[in-house]
Amino acid sequence: MITHMGIPVSPGVAIGEALVLDQERIRIPRRFVSRDAVEEELERLRRAVDQVADDISQNRDLITAELGEQYGAIFAAHLAMLRDPTLQQSWERLIRQEYYSPEHAVSSTLRKYAAVFERMPQRYLAERAHDVLDLERSLLRRLLGLRREELTQINTPVVVLAHDLTPNETASLDRTKVLGFATEIGGAGGHVAIVARALEIPAIVGVGPFLAEVEPGDLVIVDGDSGQLILRPDPATREHYQQQADKARTLARGWERHCHEPALTLDQQHVQVHANIEFPREVEVCLERGADGIGLYRTEFLYLSGDHEPNEEEHFQAYREVAQRMAGRPVVIRTLDLGADKLGGSYADYQEPNPFLGLRSIRLSLRHMPLFRCQLRAILRASAYGNLRIMFPMIATVNELRRAKAVLADAQEDLAEQGVPFSWPIPVGIMIEVPAAVLMLDQLLPEVDFVSIGTNDLAQYVLAVDRSNREVADLYRETDPAVIRLIDTTVRQCQAHGKAVSLCGQMSANPLCTPLLIGLGLRALSVPPANIPEIKHVCRSVSAADCQKLAQRVLQMESAREVEHCLREELKKIRP
Amino acid sequence: MAERTAIREVVVVDPHGLHLRAAHQLTARASRFASRIELINGAVRADAKSILSVMTLGAGLGTKLILRAEGDDAEEAVEAVARWFSDGFPEEDQLAEDSPSNTPPVSPPEGHSAS
């Protein structure tokens, strides 16, 4: 048994046989062909090109239907590359005049392009080398008739292990067959992570080198909650995970039966359970699982879809879709919450030694007015179609909030002048993620309609721990008493000012923390759609009065360890 | 009829430069004209009907390119492509889908037929 730690990017546990996609360095058997075989070889290349084109078209249609036009367009561009007239001419010339084998022709031309792209100073353009090499790999596989471990043709459930997944490969994941996946490289904010979460496939990225240690068919466990990748688990570990998985399934079925009823505590306190989403199409799942609203609509995917800055219309379409499908239920749209490094393009010129303390989130929006105004206009326009609210992330000072609101007011005036319909006043809120905001709440609250506590960043900033840094990740605990005290202060301040407060972030989805959060006075939580039934169930199993006593005890504790121990004991009482 | 030539300078105004999707749009547009259309960035010359070739320009935000067309519809081609650059790469709803296999996608110009 070997255990590796990676970055958990999509929750859940997958146990199954490994499908290993190795970092294929495909060997080209023949570099040249005989003169009389030229026509035959050209025909072979044509067939391979057609097959690859079919594969790409299928992916394009699949991903357009699943995630929208924006993603689909990338595949359409891949198709154009494959059919590039210059490329086709080069191949034909190399085969006819130089007697190159099709494999050799494909590989040498595409690698030349990849080398040119790689040398480009703009990171976004340099990354296109991956797309070209992806194309080379697909063509070589077809030409050599390699039984590629086709992700689209899996017929038994597997856990996918790979060095990295390309956009094409991620797109082809069949969620009925792929139980989970783990990759050697990648980070928490990458495309793979976002798509995995949206597809609800447990996933770990950035594990580091491990493929040499695993054979296809080995039993592996991907624990997307803890980030553990376990290769060939011993019987006890396997049993442990298996039992947990079985238990989880049985429990989940029970919870889902009541997920559409409101979450009332034993003493009749109503806890609103909202959903966190990234893609408009997730609304479907939210409604199935009984979401009372969307508590956090992350809009970053619009910017991450890879190849261009979203325009106002694209923002608007996405927001309107969510607003309409939620049919009057509240939807909180969070404005751009990315670091400059993630945006690419000209924004990536900032080389920041410390991006988490740098130009990100609301700071970036306020620095790039056209970008910010475009998003706010789109949200306002979409507000005519449902119950929308705007939330600004990472507010640290009153000044930032006022400036953001001023931009919103500008956008509103422009739209009014143009006679475009929108709903006004639109409720405005802020994320509480920076400890400074907690200390300044008495100044901030009069200016907003609601706040939402983002525990992931709040814990990171107050504990001074970068949770994506493996050297110190163990110091990051959202159950640290310092974090809990910040939540307590925030909730009490909001109650005093009569402002709505909710909590999103990983803590809200952790059933261990639910009684504590109710005890601290929270009556609204926002969680990934998959967790709604369970969190509602926990709410129904406790009384707010008992929870309050629990919270008072926890607020006196000295360590995260002590807190977690206490919370575990508490959860055992309702779920032995 | 003698070959006509048209030349114009264009500037990339998109923050992401001449990105993948834009390159795709450009080649689809350029392919509607019969003229040979080139984009030139210093020593790098690219065939505007080839997406890979266009991407070798490495054209980031603010890059100035020479747009050059040769052929009967050279002026129309330069006009259309230049406008697409100055408008900041507007997208069309429907791009010409997969062109039939192995034929260079040079379609006859629509509404630009030379007399």
pTM of the model: 0.66
- Whether residue A11 is predicted with pLDDT greater than 50 in this model: the reply is yes
Do residues B38 and B68 lie in contact, with contact meaning Cβ atoms separated by under 8 Å? Answer: yes
pLDDT in tens, B48-58: 999 999 999 99
- HSE (side-chain half, CA atoms, 13 Å) at A263: 32
pLDDT at res. A425: 94
pLDDT at res. A190: 62
Task: Name beta bridge partners: A21.
Answer: A162
pLDDT at res. B108: 39
Identify the closest residue of chain A to B106 by CA–CA distance: A85
- Whether residue B113 is predicted with pLDDT greater than 50 in this model: the reply is no
Structure tokens at A278: 């990234």
CATH annotation of A2-23+150-246: 3.50.30.10
Q: Which stretch of A105-119, A121-135, B61-75 has the lowest confidence by average pLDDT?
A: A121-135
- Between chain A and chain B, the number of residue pairs with CB atoms below 8 A apart is 102
- Whether residue A52 is predicted with pLDDT greater than 50 in this model: the reply is yes
- Whether residue B94 is predicted with pLDDT greater than 50 in this model: the reply is no
Domain residue spans of chain A: 2-23+150-246, 35-144, 270-574
pLDDT at res. A212: 77
pLDDT in tens, A373-403: 999 999 999 999 999 999 999 999 999 999 9
- Whether residue A265 is predicted with pLDDT greater than 50 in this model: the reply is yes
Identify the closest residue of chain B to A72 by CA–CA distance: B21
- Whether residue B97 is predicted with pLDDT greater than 70 in this model: the reply is no
Chain B CB contacts of A309 below 8 Å = 14-16
Chain B CB contacts of A79 below 8 Å = 98
Contact between chains at B102 and A46 (C-beta distance less than 8 A): yes
Report the phi/psi class of residue B94: left, alpha or beta, with left for phi > 0 and alpha for psi in -120 to 50. Answer: beta
Q: How confident is the model at residue B111 (pLDDT cuts 50, 70, 90)?
A: very low
Contact between chains at B15 and A125 (C-beta distance less than 8 A): no
pLDDT at res. B112: 42
Task: Name beta bridge partners: A17.
Answer: A158, A219
Distance CA B114, CA A264 (A): 76
Contact between chains at A74 and B105 (C-beta distance less than 8 A): no
- Whether residue A477 is predicted with pLDDT greater than 70 in this model: the reply is yes
- Taking the Cβ of residue B69 and every Cβ of chain A, the question of whether any pair is shorter than 8 Å is answered with no
- SS3 for A545-570, per residue? HHHHHHHHHHCCCCCHHHHHHHHHHH
Interface test with B, best of A61, A125, A305, A368 (most B CBs within 10 A): A125
* Mean pLDDT within A346-368: 79
Identify the closest residue of chain A to B19 by CA–CA distance: A307
pLDDT at res. A415: 96
- Whether residue B86 is predicted with pLDDT greater than 80 in this model: the reply is yes
Contact between chains at A84 and B53 (C-beta distance less than 8 A): yes
Is B112 marked active-site?
A: no
pLDDT in tens, B22-33: 999 999 999 999
Phi and psi torsions of A27, nearest 5°: -85, 130
pLDDT in tens, B57-76: 999 888 999 999 999 999 99
* Mean pLDDT within A67-88: 87
What is the per-residue DSSP string for A291-330? -SSEEEEE-HHHHHSSSSPPPHHHHHHHHHHHHHHTTTSE
Q: How confident is the model at residue A122 (pLDDT cuts 50, 70, 90)?
A: confident
- Whether residue A512 is predicted with pLDDT greater than 90 in this model: the reply is yes
Distance CA A42, CA A96 (A): 8
pLDDT at res. A475: 85
pLDDT at res. A150: 55
Task: Name beta bridge partners: A181.
Answer: A160, A203
3-state secondary structure of B14: coil
- Report whether the peptide linkage leading into residue A425 is cis, meaning its omega lies within 30 degrees of zero: yes
- Taking the Cβ of residue B11 and every Cβ of chain A, the question of whether any pair is shorter than 8 Å is answered with no
* Mean pLDDT within A140-147: 78
What is the per-residue DSSP string for A335-387? P---BHHHH-GGGGG---S-GGGSSBHHHHHHH-HHHHHHHHHHHHHHGGGSE
3-state secondary structure of B87: coil
Task: Read off the DSSP letter of residue A185.
Answer: S
- Taking the Cβ of residue B17 and every Cβ of chain A, the question of whether any pair is shorter than 8 Å is answered with yes
CATH class of the domain whose range is A35-144 = mainly alpha
Give the CA angle between residues A512, A518, A523 to the nearest 5°. Answer: 125
* Mean pLDDT within A23-51: 84
Give the rounded percent of residues in chain A with a pLDDT score beyond 90.
59
Distance CA A235, CA A430 (A): 48
Structure tokens at B88: 């900041």
Contact between chains at B104 and A80 (C-beta distance less than 8 A): no
* Mean pLDDT within B6-11: 94
- Whether residue A510 is predicted with pLDDT greater than 60 in this model: the reply is yes
* Mean pLDDT within A202-231: 89
- Whether residue B109 is predicted with pLDDT greater than 70 in this model: the reply is no
Q: Comparing A467 with A156, which gets the higher pLDDT?
A: A156
Task: Name beta bridge partners: A432.
Answer: A453
Q: How confident is the model at residue A73 (pLDDT cuts 50, 70, 90)?
A: confident
Look at chain A and count its residues: 576
Chain B CB contacts of A125 below 8 Å = 17, 19, 55, 58, 60
Interface test with B, best of A57, A58, A64, A86 (most B CBs within 10 A): A86
Highest-scoring range by mean pLDDT, A81-95, A133-147, A209-223, A328-342:
A81-95
Highest-scoring range by mean pLDDT, A129-143, A346-360, A559-573:
A559-573
Q: Comparing A575 with A415, which gets the higher pLDDT?
A: A415
3-state secondary structure of A525: strand
pLDDT at res. B114: 36
- Whether residue A406 is predicted with pLDDT greater than 80 in this model: the reply is yes
Distance CA A114, CA A136 (A): 10
pLDDT at res. B102: 37
pLDDT at res. B75: 95
- Whether residue A87 is predicted with pLDDT greater than 90 in this model: the reply is yes
CA distance A508 to chain B (A): 36
Contact between chains at B58 and A81 (C-beta distance less than 8 A): no
pLDDT in tens, A237-257: 999 999 988 888 888 888 889
Architecture of the structural domain at A270-574:
Alpha-Beta Barrel (3.20)
Across all residues in chain B, what is the average pLDDT?
Answer: 81
Look at chain B and count its residues: 115
- Taking the Cβ of residue B20 and every Cβ of chain A, the question of whether any pair is shorter than 8 Å is answered with yes
Distance CA A378, CA A357 (A): 28
Distance CA A390, CA A411 (A): 13
Architecture of the structural domain at B5-86:
2-Layer Sandwich (3.30)
